[in-house]
Structure 1
């Protein structure tokens, strides 16, 4: 099982950078980058809520489940 994080796609569609998003949701730019690059091992619901509010999207727009063997990396 793998969960793919599509935060980079949503950010590009909304034309928002790491620094601006970090400021809007109250986490460090380094942590936004970890999420954006798919290196996060977990995400708090409060962070996911803040992302959805800032980006005007649903959790399913950011997180996507993919079957084994189809995940990147």
Structure 2
């Protein structure tokens, strides 16, 4: 099982920089970078909701499940 984080793709589509998004949702750029690269073990629903609200998207636009082959 693998969860793929497509946050960088959604940010590019919306033309939002890491600095802008981090400031808007109240996390550090370093933590946002870790999240974008899928290097976190979890994400708070509040953080996910803030990202979705700012980018005007759904959680499924950011997170994707891929079955291990």
**TM class, shorter-chain normalised?**
over 0.9
What does residue 17 of structure 1 align with?
17
- In structure 2, what is the Cα distance between the partners aligned to 1:39 and 1:8? 13
Equivalent residues, number = 69
Q: TM-score, normalised by structure 2?
A: 0.95
Q: Secondary structure at the match of 2:8?
A: helix
Structure 1 CA distance for aligned equivalents of residues 65 and 37 of structure 2: 16
> TM-score scaled to structure 1, two decimals?
0.90
Q: What value does the CA root-mean-square deviation take over the aligned residues?
A: 0.7
Return structure 1 stretches of 4+ with deviation > 2 angstroms: none
Alpha-carbon offset, residue 33 of structure 1: 0.5
Q: How much does 1:39 deviate?
A: 1.1
Unaligned runs of 5+ in 1: none
The equivalent residue for 1:31 is: 31
Unpaired runs of 5+ in structure 2? none
Q: Please give the secondary structure, in 1, of the residue aligned with 2:38.
A: coil
